[in-house]
Structure 1
Amino acid sequence: MNIGGIDIGEVKVIPELESGDEREVFAFYGLASFNAQCAEKALVNFAMGYKLLDESALSQEQWLELYDGFNSKTYGRLLGHVKKRVDLPSELVEHLSKSLQKRNWLAHDFFFDYAVHLADEDGRKEMIKELQSLILLFQIADKAVEKLSFKVWAEFGITEEWIQNEMVVQFEV
């Protein structure tokens, strides 16, 4: 898959609708929310890496303070920060802007807007279809920003392979 000239590879398979009951709606909502958070944290990592390119050597305390600052920003503020400092492909900017709008809608208005739909099976199935589309939207945003992040972090010797090795070491302990 490609967005804005960035090959993001394949996204994870989105589960199929099974029964259309309320529990399934909440499960898909959780998966959509999870993917929205992944996209948001990808922006944190990208902004952090890009900022480090401009900084001289930082102490561990300064590094953590900088990370905490980015991590406390909302998705919208992170996106605004990145858009001001990085020339991103317009297709990616549009996708990230849409994912921001949909993330906010998911967090604040989804259940309000679909309140009546919870009462019947067809309505719940419609909700699940919407959530499936959001999952895909957020996965694409996450993977695209992650690909850009790897380019930045490679400047510090941090590669996908290095991260995988570190994860193995962390989970072996």
Structure 2
Amino acid sequence: MDSVELRKDVYAHFGAAMYYAQCLEQSIIIAIMFIDHFPKAIKKYTSQNLWENDFDRFMDNISSKTMGRLINSLKAVDFPIDKVEVQLKDALDKRNFLAHHYFFERAIEITTDAGCIKMVDELIDIQTFFSSLETEINQVTDAISLKYGFTKEVQDSMMKEMMGEYRQTR
């Protein structure tokens, strides 16, 4: 593989690492939604319209938070965080490093074939780390979401509906 192709691999794996970081952020948001937002929203539920407006406000608010603030929000709700607290701190550090310093810190490595190969390996490790942590958080959230009827069948149905809507816009 030539140097240009190796650099393309680095960029692709960097993009994948950031993708997995964002998946982890969304998993944290979903955990907070089921642990904190839903119990409060259900108590106030009086109509579908009010439910949707309240949900939209919640999502707008939480989606604007940085990963660090999301982690702090997760700590503030009743999420069994002790099992993943150290990993969440590490995830925040990795995500911030990727977003703010990665290519500056790897400016020399990306100019060599050996450096690119090393970077790809590093980025694959980071992807795996984010994905594994997301899976751990999702396992806790999945158990909680069942209380609200959010079964695998409901998830599949929602996905099918979203894919249908997406196809209609194409």
Give the TM-score, by structure 1 length.
Answer: 0.83
Residue type at the aligned position of 2:91: S
SS at match of 2:108: helix
Which residue number corresponds to residue 143 of structure 1?
Answer: 135
Q: Deviations over 1:44-72 (max 9, x none)?
A: 11111111223423421111101111111
Give 1 or 2 for the bigger CA radius of gyration.
2
1:87 positional shift: 4.5
Q: What's the CA shift string for 1:79-104, capped at 9, x where partnerless?
A: 11111222525231111111111011
- Residues 24-103 of structure 1: matches in 2 within 5 Å? 24-51=9-36, 52-55=38-41, 56-58=43-45, 59=50, 60-103=52-95
- Consecutive aligned runs of 4 or more in structure 1 exceeding 6 Å deviation: none
Q: Which amino acid aligns with 1:54?
A: K
Number of residue pairs matched by the alignment: 156
Q: Match for 1:33: what amino acid? A: M
Between stretches 50-59 and 39-48, larger displacement belongs to: 50-59
- Post-superposition Cα deviations, 1:26-59, rounded to whole Å, max 9, x if no partner, equal 0000110110100001111111111122342342
- Contact conserved, 2:35 with 2:79, CA < 8 A, in 1? no
What is the RMSD computed on CA atoms of the aligned residues?
A: 1.7
Aligned to 2:96, the other structure's residue is in SS state: helix
Shift of 1:126: 1.0
One-letter amino acid of the structure 1 residue matched with residue 156 of structure 2 = Q
CA distance in 2, matches of 1:26, 1:115: 13
Normalising by the residue count of structure 2, what TM-score does the alignment of the two structures yield? 0.84
Identity of aligned residues (%): 24
Q: Specify the alignment match of 1:13 in structure 2.
A: none
Point out where structure 2 has 5 or more consecutive residues left out of the alignment: 166-170
Specify every segment of 5 or more residues in structure 1 that has no aligned partner in the other structure, as ranges.
1-17
**Which residue pairs with 1:161 in the alignment?**
153
Separation in 2 of the partners of 1:151 and 1:170? 23
1:119 to 76, 95, 111: 111
Moved more, 112-121 or 162-171: 162-171
1:49–1:153 Cα contact (<8 Å) kept = yes
